[in-house]
Structures are given as C-alpha cells and as structure tokens.
Amino acid sequence: MLITPDISTLSYKRQLAKRFDRASRSYDSYADFQKIVLDRLLAMLPLNQADVVLDLGTGTGQALGILSEQLNPICNIALDLSSQMLTVASERYSALQNTHYICADAEQLPLQDKSCDLVFSSLAIQWCLTPLVLFKELYRVTKPGGYVVFSTLSQGSMPEISKAWFGLDNKEHVHQYMASGALLDCVKASELNLVSSQLSDIPMWFDSPESAIYSLKKVGASLISADGDQSTSPSKWKAFLQEYEKQRNECGVPLSYQVSFVVAQRPISI
C-alpha cells in the first residue's frame, strides 16, 4: 500500500492499469522475485478445500493453477485492474472451466457480500490507495470463517534505488510503502482477525544496475510519479547508474524487498 500520491484516484488507476497492460507479455519471464513470494504465500494457505476462491490482482494467473489443484474450488475468480493481464491469464488457463475473469479494482469489488471462502492476493495490494477501504472490501466479500491471505511490499523496499538517487535530484524514485505495523492495524480495524504475519527481507541479485531496473519495468513495477512526469535527463540517469553500481558486492548488484505475509480470518460469528 502506498502513501497516497497527489493525483486523482481515477487517473492513478488508469495509469496503473496501462502500465500492467504493457508488462503483461513480459511479466512471466522477469517475475523471479514475484515467484519466490508467491511460493511462500501458497505454503501459508490455512485451508485444503475452498468452494469460492478470489485471486485478487491475479496478473498473468501464476497462482490460479495451484490454487485450483490444492483447494478444488467450485468457482475461481481471477480479478485484476489490467485487462491485458487477464487476457494472458485466460489464455494460460483456457482449460480451467470454472474460472471467471473480472477486470475491476480491489478497492471497489463487484462481488456480493460473504461470497468468498478465500481471498488470496500476492504482491498486488501495495498499489491500492486507501488501505482501510481495501480491507473493509475484503472483509465484506469474505464468508464468515473464510480467510484473507496476502503478501505485499512494505516500507524499506528497494533501499538501493533510493540510496543511488540520494542527492541527485529531489524526486521520489521509490514508492513509500506502508510500514508493516500500520498495515496490520488496518487489517484489525476492518474486523478481520489476524491469524499470522511475517515480515521478510528478500534480496535479489543482478549482473548490472540496468538489469535490476529493467526487471522492474518488465513486470510493471516501475514508479508512477505524482505529477505523471517520469522524465530524467541522460546525465542524471548516468549518475544514478554509477551510484547504483557502487553497491555491487560478491553476489552482484542488489535489489531488496521487505515483504509482509499475512493470514487473516473473518470471524465466524459476525
């Protein structure tokens, strides 16, 4: 979840959808970090059967096959803001009969109250603008006794990029993700019960600063700036790459993430 940028929600969501549309065909080839997080989140599933499963921010649908195999649902809902991501997911899973693809916003779900046994979401909700609205929506669509299981980026992600830009210009080059404590407060405020949570530091390694930045772009995770302006002069870009290169160590050029893994449950009695 982001600390709200100063642009209208609609224009922000449109830009976000476009950016993920553009990344839809390259995503799977560059999503090494996303696959690591997804595998860890899948290992935390608290159920072995669920009738209705929502994969929120499904992207190219990397989780859909495994959720289907493990939980044997009657109905899978693959939901994403990006229609192109959904196209890739539906091509991949054309054989999954019981899957519905819905292009919608996580903060305004077109789903009935108490309709899902499991809301699953890996590395999608950090793009939402209003965490309380989001978690109230997740609470609303979850059945009493059902689960909300998610991973999201937290404060302190990609410090290498902030460090390399430091002093070069006055722009924000990394999103200000929510601190994990504040995130968990929002989960509790939505009346979901917190079952478990972990905050993990996950470092990734690249052979050059360029390939680290390229990997972000190819999965749609580069920054949308507050004023929509992403221009950087060639000389500043060069200076940034030189600063980033200085952080290389024996493993390569680092890009590290703080990831919150959370399992929450809607109480049975409400």
Residues that bind ligand SAM (CB under 6 A): 16, 20, 31, 34, 38, 57-59, 62-63, 80-82, 85, 105-107, 122-124, 127-128, 219
Cα separation of 98 and 117, whole Å?
Answer: 15
- The CB-nearest residue to ligand SAM is 59
Q: Which is nearer to ligand SAM, 58 or 180 (CB)?
A: 58
Cα separation of 81 and 223, whole Å?
Answer: 17
Question: Nearest approach, Cβ of 72 to ligand SAM (angstroms)?
Answer: 20
Tokens of 220: 């749609």
Cα separation of 113 and 110, whole Å?
Answer: 10
Q: Which is nearer to ligand SAM, 243 or 260 (CB)?
A: 260
- CB contact set of 234 (below 8 Å; sequence gap of 6+): none
Cα separation of 119 and 146, whole Å?
Answer: 8
Q: Which is nearer to ligand SAM, 63 or 192 (CB)?
A: 63
Question: Nearest approach, Cβ of 87 to ligand SAM (angstroms)?
Answer: 11
Q: Which is nearer to ligand SAM, 50 or 89 (CB)?
A: 89
Residues forming beta bridges with residue 63, ordered by sequence position: none
Question: Nearest approach, Cβ of 237 to ligand SAM (angstroms)?
Answer: 24
Q: Which is nearer to ligand SAM, 8 or 233 (CB)?
A: 8
Q: Phi and psi for 213 in degrees, rounded to 5? A: -70, -40
Question: Nearest approach, Cβ of 58 to ligand SAM (angstroms)?
Answer: 6
Question: Nearest approach, Cβ of 167 to ligand SAM (angstroms)?
Answer: 30
CA angle 217, 164, 209 (to 5 degrees): 45
